[in-house]
Structure 1
Amino acid sequence: MRAWERDLVYIAAWKAAVFGAPLAWPEDERVALRFVLDHSIDLTDRAGTSAHDAAMELIAAGLRRSLACPSPATLDRRIASWRAFHRMKNLPSPFEAPLIRQARAKARRAANHLPQPKSPRPVTRDLLNALIETCDGSLRGIRDRAMLMLGFASGGRRRSEITGLRREDIDLEEFDDRGLIWIRLLETKTTAKGEAPRLPLKGRAARALVAWIDRAAIADGALFRPVSRADRALVRPLGPDAMRLILRYRLKCAGLPEDYATPHGLRSGFLTQAALDGAPLQAAMRLSLHRSVTQAGRYYADVEIETNPATDLLD
């Protein structure tokens, strides 16, 4: 729903900037073709054109980051949203026209490039330990330590999965006897409600999570919460972007650039570390909940080719 809302705002703002008119239902094919063409080229050196001027308006409004050509995936998603809006109204979509399909295919080939990783670097064990060392004994430090360790050790959880956890999702029955915690994910990006299995958390990560629950006195509701200046846990949950802000802060405390890694680095770091430690891919995927062996196997492939003895033949 958030993605649909953002796309609708962007599409409406773009048409107003280019055509000076609101969205029409169904939309004209001429507008759809112009949308594809304007988002298939780099506008940096096209000052004075209507596409450049519209892009500058969108940047000023905070709806576009730069004049660079958006990635094919971003354009595909916005087109998919626009088509979905037509379906909701039981109207034909202009993007089904053969000319627009052909233009989109050619634009995709022209913009073909290697996909950029979601995080500049994977947060592997050494980097994670460096971040954890910056977490002091304050309530904020205890919370950040628990979030970082849970995010990594439970299979490389996405930031929305971490901030969306509730106290009711944490089973501590086996912690005293076995040091084991079970985490229940009701819904993830790759699983529906009731399909995601319970995930185990043990060792340092389990102890860090229990320390946060005890110190913050979390009995129910949101598991991870903002911490006040008086070092008290508030009632409301953390925002969706909290994990990014926490990671940036801990990177800065560790003496690293704030953009050294992103929250997705916990996910890629878990699989990378599993490959480095020789854990079977299928075992790692049972925790990461990847559906695609190909996608998860890329991290293993990068590690395996780096340690391949054939790379040292010259030496």
Structure 2
Amino acid sequence: MPTQNLKLLNHLPLLNPASLHETTQQAIAEIMSEGESKNTRNSYKSAMKYWAVWYRARYNQAFTLPLPVPVVLQFIVDHALRYTSSGETIGLPDELDSFLVENKFKAQKGHFSIATLLHRLAVLSKAHKVAFANPNPCKDPRVQELISKTQKAYAKKGMHSIKRPALTKEPLVQLLEACDQSLKGLRDKALILFAWASGGRRRSEISDAHFDRLIHQSETGEYLYLLLYSKTNQTGQVSADAYKPVSGMAAQALADWLEASQLNSGYIFRQINKGGAIGGKLSPVSINKIIKSRCAQAGLSEEFTAHSLRSGFVTEAARQNIPIAETMLMTGHQNINTLIGYYREGNVLESKAAKLLENGV
């Protein structure tokens, strides 16, 4: 650009190259928020609201970043279960604990699970990072040491995260039998099979399923679904394993739903009101409610959730000796250790290694 033309821009505010302007920091935060899933944003929002309320109650001050290290140490002590000479206890005053529960900032009185405690700290750390608030107290060696010892203490107590049971083939068939031939029944059957048979899709992926990414194979009657955005593909890269098959029973169920609903554009799985009219897309929360409701109708455990479809697909693949590489292509897992984490106790009991004394007898 000619130098003389630059004079025309003299009215613009000058930026400091050594630091970010406030508006730039806000823009970065907005971009990062937009790039996250709705579930993640809601999770972060809930966690930060809890931090703010707890901080106000504990220190009678407005919540600001960066937080001092002693505050984070106090938060851990307030919410981690520990044993004393008088029994189990936490640092959170009982009156404050009751207030947090009564006002729905906390689900129940008492200690946090280790997963919840780690999540609260991770969100706080992320908040410092996004706000360029330094130093980050969560990175402090004292905080790291205390949370490490807390994890070990929980493990010694046998306190671990409970995984939801897996919807493997047998309970899945039972679940599908609960879906009748009504419009809702056809939708729910198609939704369940679409999620399970295409690799165990997450609730958000089912909610966002769109006709623009659904490819009908007219020769076979089957479908391919292009999964452009997922937890493991957040940049929307198109690759061979981004195409998920919807075949066999799943394809037929999907075809039945589309024929009955007369849908051919927009979101695939929609709300249906009491009068039978089709509305907007189903939310991830609604999808979880549908799965739990159908499980109740089928007489299945109330512990089953939408995530049980994903763990069920992986567990069933293991039972049928499907190569792990093929399973990972379907589920989209990038880390084999994460995949193995879905395997359930039933697989251990069915292992040949568990029957060494009987083998060959």
The answer to whether the 8 A contact 2:191-2:206 is kept is: yes
Q: Does 1:188 align with 2:230?
A: yes
The correspondence of residues 150-299 of structure 1 with structure 2, limited to 5 A, is 150-172=194-216, 174=217, 176-192=218-234, 193-195=236-238, 197-234=242-279, 236-257=280-301, 259-298=302-341
Q: Does 1:118 align with 2:163?
A: yes
Aligned-partner SS, 1:177? coil
Letter in 1 for 2:161: Q
Q: Which residue of 1 aligns with 2:133?
A: 91
Query: Deviation digits for residues 98-155 of structure 1, max 9, x if unmatched?
Result: 3222222222221224643431x21011111111111111110011000111111001
Q: Which residue of 1 aligns with 2:174?
A: 130
The alpha-carbon deviation at position 283 of structure 1 amounts to: 1.0
The alpha-carbon deviation at position 67 of structure 1 amounts to: 3.0
Letter in 2 for 1:86: H
Q: Does 1:103 align with 2:146?
A: yes
RMSD: 2.4
Name the CA shift for 1:51/1:306 in 2 (closer, same or farther; >3 Å).
farther
State the alpha-carbon separation in 2 of the partners of residues 98 and 50 from structure 1: 23
The alpha-carbon deviation at position 310 of structure 1 amounts to: 4.9
Greater Cα shift, 144-153 or 207-216 = 207-216
Q: Does 1:51 align with 2:96?
A: no
The alpha-carbon deviation at position 195 of structure 1 amounts to: 4.5
State the alpha-carbon separation in 2 of the partners of residues 50 and 145 from structure 1: 46
Q: Which residue of 1 aligns with 2:20?
A: none
The alpha-carbon deviation at position 240 of structure 1 amounts to: 1.9
Name the CA shift for 1:45/1:308 in 2 (closer, same or farther; >3 Å).
same
The alpha-carbon deviation at position 298 of structure 1 amounts to: 4.6
The alpha-carbon deviation at position 304 of structure 1 amounts to: 5.3
Q: Indicate the percent of aligned positions where both proteins have the same amino acid.
A: 28
Structure 2 unmatched ranges of 5 or more: 1-40
Q: Which residue of 1 aligns with 2:185?
A: 141
Query: Deviation digits for residues 233-285 of structure 1, max 9, x if unmatched?
Result: 11x1112211211111111111234x231111111111111122221111111
Q: Which residue of 2 aligns with 1:16?
A: 56
Aligned-partner SS, 1:226? strand
Greater Cα shift, 241-250 or 50-59 = 50-59
Max radius of gyration: which structure? 2
State the alpha-carbon separation in 1 of the partners of residues 46 and 80 from structure 2: 20
Letter in 1 for 2:296: K
TM-score normalized by structure 1?
0.89
The answer to whether the 8 A contact 1:39-1:70 is kept is: yes
Q: Which residue of 2 aligns with 1:78?
A: 120
Letter in 2 for 1:55: D
Match of 1:31 among 58, 64, 71: 71
State the alpha-carbon separation in 2 of the partners of residues 263 and 301 from structure 1: 16
Greater Cα shift, 79-88 or 292-301 = 292-301
State the alpha-carbon separation in 2 of the partners of residues 191 and 233 from structure 1: 31
The answer to whether the 8 A contact 1:251-1:260 is kept is: no
Greater Cα shift, 74-83 or 107-116 = 107-116
The alpha-carbon deviation at position 301 of structure 1 amounts to: 8.0
Name the CA shift for 1:260/1:31 in 2 (closer, same or farther; >3 Å).
closer
Query: Deviation digits for residues 67-123 of structure 1, max 9, x if unmatched?
Result: 34323332222212212222233221222333222222222221224643431x210
Structure 1 unmatched ranges of 5 or more: none
Higher RCO (C-alpha 8 Å, min separation 6): 1
Greater Cα shift, 32-41 or 191-200 = 191-200
Q: Which residue of 1 aligns with 2:6?
A: none
The answer to whether the 8 A contact 2:206-2:284 is kept is: no
The answer to whether the 8 A contact 1:42-1:69 is kept is: no
The answer to whether the 8 A contact 1:166-1:223 is kept is: yes
The answer to whether the 8 A contact 1:17-1:57 is kept is: no
The alpha-carbon deviation at position 42 of structure 1 amounts to: 6.1
Aligned-partner SS, 1:136? coil
Number of paired residues? 309
The answer to whether the 8 A contact 2:115-2:161 is kept is: no
Letter in 1 for 2:101: I
Letter in 1 for 2:211: R
The alpha-carbon deviation at position 38 of structure 1 amounts to: 1.2
State the alpha-carbon separation in 2 of the partners of residues 71 and 89 from structure 1: 27
Q: Does 1:63 align with 2:63?
A: no
Q: Which residue of 1 aligns with 2:47?
A: 7
